[in-house]
Structure 1
Amino acid sequence: MQVSKRKSLCKICGNPAFGNHFGVLSCRACAAFFRRTNVDGETFCPIGNCKIDKHGKFYCKKCRLRICLEAGMDANKFQHDRDLISTSTSESSDSSGSFSFSQRSKVPKSMANFLGRPAFILSCEPDKASKVKTIVDVTFLINQAFDIFGNVDRKRFSSNSNLGRMTKKFEDLQNEKSSNLSTIKVLGLKESMIFWEQDFLRTARWLSHFDEFQELPLSIRMQILKVAWILWGRLDKLVKTANERKNQQLNQNFYMIGKDVGIDIGNFEVDVSWCTNYSKEQLAYYLDCHHDEPFNIIVDAISDLKPSDMELNFMLLELCLAHAGKQHQGDVLMFTDRLLEVVSNELHDYYQSEQISNYSSRITKMMKINNLIRRNLFERLERQAVAKVFNIISVHFSHPDMFCNAGF
């Protein structure tokens, strides 16, 4: 429906009107002015005859308020179904000069409806915030890691290099999985705890075969482990995803999330009731519980590179140690830089022994994959900071530094 050529004017300022506000045909600016003005205060100015400029602007709020009241504006006449900024409507004027809207809708019930972003309603639903936390005790994992670092059997892995021994240990860990690949349809607290335990302890066993790492103070080793295990598990699962998609001819909806467990995004649910009062849709922005296109980009890059076992273990070490050093700085950074220098030299020796002369392009691709994983991590950390401000998560871990990269 087209707007009539005869445009109705605001009774207050004379500019084009946009509907009936507080019982008077007026523009949005005057309606907004009246809405925020204290009508119980002093109504008239001493001059009482302030002029409106040619553009309809007022320089005296009291005179503007006086004109609003004289025109008949009444705060009790606020209409909830008019002039919705979020609704695209068409206007027409009837014979009386009043405007009507061809489409009318109710005021949105929440900021989520208004903006189309469910996560935005968190600041508008303070009753769901979780200031009192449920404690999740993971002390048993810390104790097992202490035992692992204190009892290392290297007899089976006689390689002269750290990278070689760690590659053998990594292969040994891979052989622990069952022969059949299984899929799950629901991921909740029970499943998450199983996967966290697997990744944390497997990372500890793997790191324990790095001689220079084992020479570090135990407190430094634990600091590195607490930061490294999630990144170790992330790259490990992405590599497994690339392999399983190729071997099993699976589509891009399939992801590995455990040692021998995968999910199909098209047939999969995340149960977040154990860790928040908000819905899964609201929490999706803040938690790392949904796989998306950035993950597929990394998987495709891994499929293109086809890293050898030695290259993969170097990537795991570079990813874990570089992030641990950046996270903790100080002594941890000094030690992780030293460890990275050791394995970098060993990777060079590996390429020399394999007679691979032009390997710079492969290293470039390896670092590109690691940087993509780091970028994804930093985005999650930013969202995690917002979640902390709004008390979105209802759980607290006994060792929170273990989960500083997990979206909690």
Structure 2
Amino acid sequence: MSSDPSTSPNLCSEKSEASGSSENSECSNEDSTCRICELTAHGVHFGVASCRACAAFFRRTIVMSRTKKYKCRGGHNACAVNTSDRYQCRLCRYNKCVVMGMTAENVQWNRDPFPEARKRKDKDSEDEEDRVPAKRHAFPPPHLLITKPKRIVDVTILSGKIQKILNDKKIGDHPKLKKMNNLERLEHALKEWRMKQKPEEQMEMISKLTIQEMFSMCEDQMLVIATWLSHCPYFQKLESPEKYRMFKVVWNVWRRFERVEMSVQMFGRKTPGHVMKFAISDKYYVTPKLSIDISKITDWPLSATFMGGLFRDSVRKMFEQTGVQLAYLEPTSMEMAYMLSQLSWQLAGQSLQGKVMEIAEIQQEELANNLHNHYLQIKRRSNYAGRLVKLMSVVNIVKRLQMERKITIELANNDLHSKYHCKSCRYKRCVTLGMTPENVQRYRDSFTTPRSQEKRKKRISVENLDQPYELKGKPKQVIDVSSTKKDICEILKYKSTSPESEKMNKLELSEYALREWRNKQKPENEMKHLVILPIIKLFEIFKKQMFVVARWLSYSPDFQKLQEDQKYQFFKLVWNIWRKFERYQISLEMFEDEAITHEKFALNDQHLVTIALQLKFSEISDETDEKLTKCFRDVWRSMFLRIAKPLQDLKPTSTEMAFMLSEMSWQIAVQRSGFIGKSMQGSVLELSEKVRDELADNLHSYYKTNGNSLNYAGRLIKLTKIVNSLINFHAELKNRMEIVRIFKVFTVDLSEPDLYDI
């Protein structure tokens, strides 16, 4: 070793030389800095001014031949080597030693006082973090994943073929297309692809697939999708790099959605729920028993089973959430081309922004006009509102599934070799791979909470709370909200009515109930500006708004058809997102641009807040107020920015706002009916379809009477896009709150779970 780590720093180089020390160099100044870790150096060791720890590390690495066994914790061979991290990346630390000039020439071998057996034991103990117990073979040892250099699959030829098609303007100039509008061109391209589809009796079932065969099928379909995109005149307005980027964003989700719809069309309505035959190409179909061999691209054990499971889950989700609706709707090829185009341009606009988003807006406006003409002139159908809303809800589900899939892929690409995982990503990966909390055993840990932590916990004083909030069992810190639940259920129990509302249709009833609440709204000059807001005070504001939402729901005659427990579960699912959306829209209406620039927000009918708001969480959490305020403010801001511009541009009427609130509520109830119980799924789904159809008919009548135009397709699509953005955000918020609960951010629980999601 360059010098014994226990040797006093005052010893000079003569002593180092006598012990066969490193490098026969002079002792550097005590104030000099170690060129490896930036601590104080204690001489020149192995040719570099360094501290004893780095010198000992370098010698140990050389003597024990560890250079090939070190793995980069960050995965990029670029970890910082300094004093900020107690556990430094050994590979990057060794590489820095070499870069700084350390050499192995003066390393002394066989000078350790301990025997070889002990050396091996110590070596094993130091490297034990790199080992995974042999019995746990569901995931491979990390070294299997990174010791072999990754092979690069050359797709240059394929990329060239795709880009050649994307930039081929002759495709769009074909004589057949000259008299076709935008949507008709896309339908023509879709039909050309589907004409190659073999009938069911001629298709072959595949039970096993190699990764090469899977890639080959995907490559063929990539060329089909590139050709389809090239038929769009607006796509041709993009620059070549933008075309290729858009293609990469949309091709896979386009392929999966088109194949699901074709499978439902070919194999019948039973396909989504029972048979689940999936037309993977124009010649082959697969079932849930499919096994995919990916051994050529991974060292994971059981890879075929694992990938088959991922594929099966992906197809199952798509079938379950879109297949039933597709089977019910039976979309025409024109409607399918419309949905594929909406899906493609929405995803591309969100992902690429800039010019792509600008063109996407124009493209979608023209497509809406084309679809209106199709319904009016070809189908002789002027009342298409209900059908269009349902088509757009299918598009939204596919978008949401694509975002979830994207998150899954990002998680799969996370560095799994680090000793310290990101807790949030690790939890998401557990859920993605199928872990469920159903069989979790609680209160079985052998350890107790440290006393220091108990002392830090803040207790909520009953005197500081209003009567509805009482502590049930101080050790568990449970807030009793049973009286709030009782009041809500009492409102939901009976249908609200008035002489004015007796002859109203369902949309008019919804709008009447909304106006009943908004008539209480104070003007801005009479509202109180809140700067500091204790969380318990916010809960009180929420409580009053719960009663508003409950009363609004109680006006619906269809809502009254649900059982009492179903009404309450329905209410819990929708009240908070209803509150947020209604308040965002009224804030834009009242404060206009200041709602965005100053984040001015009408919290209720009497109070407003701005970006200066500081929430006080001390009564329910040990985290700092600043940290939690920022966390929840970022969530609110994220949602607001998604819908602010569309809402400003649309300036929805009170009737349109009532339609959006109703559509959003019933969609959420259907999509999350699994959280309510299987007994509710069928009844809510059936009732929801009926309600949404009637609401759409009522909206058509409204446009016919007040809109001065029956070409409302473009406006209706924008309304549904706002609704769909809110539904997606609602799902994200639920996931975020679940993570908050998992990591016990709050020191209290509610007697009624999920009632207050901030």
User: Structure 2 length normalisation: TM-score?
Assistant: 0.38
**What does residue 388 of structure 1 align with?**
741
Q: Which runs of 5+ in 1 are unaligned?
A: 5-13, 35-51, 60-78, 98-114
**What does residue 73 of structure 1 align with?**
none
How many Å separate the matches in 2 of 1:233 and 1:151? Answer: 20
| CA deviation profile, 1:27-73 (whole Å, cap 9, x unmatched) | 49929x99xxxxxxxxxxxxxxxxx6xx95489xxxxxxxxxxxxxx
Displacement of 1:163 in angstroms is 0.9
| CA deviation profile, 1:221-250 (whole Å, cap 9, x unmatched) | 222112111111011111011112228788
Change (3 A) 1:249 1:256: closer
Matched positions, count: 332
How many Å separate the matches in 1 of 2:634 and 2:85? Answer: 40
After TM superposition, the structure 1 = structure 2 runs for residues 222-233 of structure 1, keeping only pairs within 5 Å, are 222-233=568-579
Whether 1:370 and 2:723 are equivalent positions in the alignment is yes
Whether 1:353 and 2:705 are equivalent positions in the alignment is yes
How many Å separate the matches in 1 of 2:574 and 2:486? Answer: 17
Q: Aligned to 2:746, what secondary structure does the other structure show?
A: coil
Identify which of 500, 512, 517 aligns with 1:156.
500
Partners of 2:424 and 2:739 within 8 A in 1: no
Q: Which moved more, 1:285-294 or 1:214-223?
A: 285-294
Change (3 A) 1:378 1:215: closer
Displacement of 1:16 in angstroms is 9.6
How many Å separate the matches in 1 of 2:100 and 2:623? Answer: 42
How many Å separate the matches in 2 of 1:212 and 1:82? Answer: 60
| CA deviation profile, 1:130-177 (whole Å, cap 9, x unmatched) | 996422222223222233232623213244301102211211211123
How many Å separate the matches in 2 of 1:315 and 1:249? Answer: 20
Partners of 1:228 and 1:320 within 8 A in 2: yes
Q: Percent identity among equivalent residues?
A: 18
**What does residue 203 of structure 1 align with?**
549
After TM superposition, the structure 1 = structure 2 runs for residues 234-383 of structure 1, keeping only pairs within 5 Å, are 234-246=580-592, 251-265=597-611, 267-283=612-628, 287=632, 291-329=636-674, 330=681, 331-354=683-706, 355-383=708-736
Partners of 2:517 and 2:548 within 8 A in 1: yes
Q: Which moved more, 1:360-369 or 1:175-184?
A: 175-184
How many Å separate the matches in 2 of 1:285 and 1:28? Answer: 47
Q: Aligned to 1:211, what secondary structure does the other structure show?
A: coil
How many Å separate the matches in 2 of 1:247 and 1:137? Answer: 40
How many Å separate the matches in 2 of 1:136 and 1:56? Answer: 57
Change (3 A) 1:218 1:30: same
How many Å separate the matches in 2 of 1:286 and 1:24? Answer: 44
Q: Aligned to 1:156, what secondary structure does the other structure show?
A: helix
Letter in 1 for 2:532: V
Higher percent of residues as helix: 2
How many Å separate the matches in 2 of 1:169 and 1:294? Answer: 25
Letter in 2 for 1:193: F
**What does residue 53 of structure 2 align with?**
22
Change (3 A) 1:234 1:81: closer
Letter in 2 for 1:136: I
Partners of 1:129 and 1:391 within 8 A in 2: no
Displacement of 1:273 in angstroms is 1.2
Change (3 A) 1:396 1:334: farther
Q: Aligned to 2:570, what secondary structure does the other structure show?
A: helix
**What does residue 187 of structure 1 align with?**
533
Displacement of 1:282 in angstroms is 4.2
After TM superposition, the structure 1 = structure 2 runs for residues 60-139 of structure 1, keeping only pairs within 5 Å, are 127=453, 133-139=476-482
Partners of 1:118 and 1:282 within 8 A in 2: no
**What does residue 137 of structure 2 align with?**
none
Letter in 2 for 1:178: K
Change (3 A) 1:134 1:356: farther
Change (3 A) 1:178 1:129: same
How many Å separate the matches in 1 of 2:651 and 2:495? Answer: 34
How many Å separate the matches in 1 of 2:654 and 2:539? Answer: 28
Partners of 2:495 and 2:556 within 8 A in 1: no
How many Å separate the matches in 1 of 2:646 and 2:539? Answer: 29
CA RMSD of aligned residues (A): 4.4
How many Å separate the matches in 1 of 2:67 and 2:101? Answer: 22
Q: Which moved more, 1:269-278 or 1:336-345?
A: 336-345
Displacement of 1:26 in angstroms is 4.5
Change (3 A) 1:398 1:26: closer
Partners of 1:19 and 1:26 within 8 A in 2: no
Q: Aligned to 1:362, what secondary structure does the other structure show?
A: helix
Partners of 1:18 and 1:26 within 8 A in 2: no
Partners of 1:237 and 1:256 within 8 A in 2: yes
Q: Aligned to 1:276, what secondary structure does the other structure show?
A: coil
How many Å separate the matches in 2 of 1:317 and 1:376? Answer: 17
Change (3 A) 1:206 1:23: closer
| CA deviation profile, 1:164-199 (whole Å, cap 9, x unmatched) | 022112112111233422210122233212221122
Q: Which moved more, 1:180-189 or 1:314-323?
A: 180-189
Q: Aligned to 1:22, what secondary structure does the other structure show?
A: helix
Higher RCO, Cα 8 Å, sep 6+: 1
Q: Which runs of 5+ in 2 are unaligned?
A: 1-33, 36-44, 71-81, 106-419, 426-448, 459-473, 675-680
| CA deviation profile, 1:272-294 (whole Å, cap 9, x unmatched) | 11221112344357646764254
How many Å separate the matches in 1 of 2:562 and 2:732? Answer: 31
Q: Which moved more, 1:197-206 or 1:155-164?
A: 155-164
